[in-house]
Amino acid sequence: MSKTALKANNSKLEWVDVIEHVYESRIDAVGLNERVASLATRSIKKESKLEALNMIVSMCDLTTLEGEDTKGKISQMSAKAVKPDPGDKSIPSVAAVCVYPSLVSIAKEKVKNSNVKVAAVSSYFPSGQVPMDSKILDTKFAIEEGADEIDIVINRKAFLEGDYRKVYDEIVELKEVCKDVHLKTILEVGDLRTYENIRKASLISLAAGSDFIKTSTGKLTVGSSRQACYVMAKAVLDYELWTGVQAGIKVAGGIRDAKDAIRYLVLINEEMGDNWLTPDLFRFGASSLLDDVLKQIRKLKTGAYQASYYFPRG
């Protein structure tokens, strides 16, 4: 038995089953778009809106992934993650801060007295175009620095060349490095383009042991979409049906306002059920989203919109 076949056993779904499901990926784009558009007509008002906004805050992975990131920037953002709106104590902390591996220790220090987790992107985010050894090294470093969660990218080169086994094997190997550290696998739906590809990549990533699947790096012009999220939600549900394992979803890239974020919650609520409405199973990758959500909460409570300078910089 090959090394990879052994690993497949540990992830509860044999590779032969995985690949069969992958090849059976059939999605009707017209029907899917229609369903997603219809979910967007839900009218979320009053208490249910406030509940939604608070949930969104608690599900945010507050993120900065730039070459210009410094200790100072990470400290600012981490402080905001713990206390998003100092003027309103009822607002929860965000779920996590998401940074590059070299900045994990700074973030970790700033959030140590809170529930906020530190997530690091690794495996040569965002392209992943390096040998496997380098991806392992990148991931190991992030974990040693104290990362609670690891966000990796799938090998799109292998995926688009049709080498699904390589995509799977790499994730399996990185999951072994992570062990109990929470693994989020980024599909980069903007590279995959078709709904079938998104489903295939979702199933491969789930079967390889990802705790979460995530839409995007945020580095492409095409980021997350509710359609991509829908495809991933269905894949997660099917995976649960086959294995009993409940995996999470993180949507990231281009979600900038509360209205859009609420539509994601509606989608998850109606397609997956409200047991998925927890930071353990659903996250938003966010940079500008959080500020809009805070503004909307203030608006609901006071009846007036407040200028940005009433909210602290992150």
Interacting residue ranges for other proteins, rule: CB under 8 A: 26-28, 30-32, 34-35, 41-49, 51-52, 55, 234, 265, 269-270, 274-275, 277-278
Q: What is the DSSP letter of 278?
A: S
**Which residue number, 88 or 274, has a Cβ lying nearer to other proteins?**
274
Q: Least distance to other proteins from the beta carbon of 70, Å?
A: 37
List 214, 234, 292, 295, catalytic entry: 214
**Which residue number, 100 or 195, has a Cβ lying nearer to other proteins?**
195
**Which residue number, 14 or 34, has a Cβ lying nearer to other proteins?**
34
Q: Which of 129, 173, 119 minimizes the C-alpha distance to 153?
A: 129
Q: Which of 227, 236, 162 minimizes the C-alpha distance to 202?
A: 236
What's the Cα-to-Cα distance from 17 to each of 22, 60, 96, 102, 186, rounded to whole Å?
A: 9, 34, 34, 38, 22
Q: Who contacts 243 (Cβ-Cβ below 8 Å, separation ≥6)?
A: 12, 13
Verify whether residue 200 is a known catalytic residue: no
**Which residue number, 51 or 176, has a Cβ lying nearer to other proteins?**
51
Sign of CA dihedral 269, 274, 275, 281: positive
List 151, 169, 191, 292, catalytic entry: 151
Q: Least distance to other proteins from the beta carbon of 42, Å?
A: 6
Strand, coil or helix: 35: helix
Q: Least distance to other proteins from the beta carbon of 38, Å?
A: 8
**Which residue number, 4 or 278, has a Cβ lying nearer to other proteins?**
278
Q: Which of 208, 259, 257, 255 minimizes the C-alpha distance to 229?
A: 255
Verify whether residue 219 is a known catalytic residue: no
List 110, 250, 292, 295, catalytic entry: 250
Rg (CA), the chain: 19
Q: Least distance to other proteins from the beta carbon of 139, Å?
A: 31
Q: Which of 310, 189, 162, 300 minimizes the C-alpha distance to 252?
A: 189
Q: Least distance to other proteins from the beta carbon of 97, Å?
A: 23
Strand, coil or helix: 114: coil
Verify whether residue 46 is a known catalytic residue: no
Catalogue the active-site residues: 151, 214, 250
